[in-house]
Amino acid sequence: MDSETFEERKYVDFLPKLQQAYRNAFNRVNERYDSTLVHGIDQQVLDESEPFYDDEGGFRLELPDDPYDRLTDVVVEEERFEAVLEEYVAAVETELERVFDD
């Protein structure tokens, strides 16, 4: 696969694989952290994220601006939020690599 193909087909042909990667990452992170925080990140931050594929660097996830400020209904210190978000993003990127490598 190349970056152009991924961009052209990501929400048409590749949607099931994208959904699977996000679901796998969610399950992995949800096992380790408070489910309220993980759900908040999933629904209020990652729902607006954008996956990209770089021919040389692989998959990366672009987050919306000010992710901490997007989180509502969950009280968490920003440092804790950033740590969980960082791990969650890494899990999504890892799962994207794994799912698309099949």
Asked if pLDDT for residue 6 goes beyond 90, the answer is yes
Q: What is the pLDDT of residue 102?
A: 66
**Residues 20-42: pLDDT tens digits?**
999 999 999 999 999 999 999 99
Provide DSSP, 6-73: HHHHTTTTSHHHHHHHHHHHHHHHHTTS-HHHHHHHHHHTGGG-EEEEETTTEEEEEPPS-HHHH--S
Looking at residues 93-97, what average pLDDT do you find? 96
Model confidence at 57, pLDDT cuts 50, 70, 90, reads confident
Asked if pLDDT for residue 75 goes beyond 70, the answer is yes
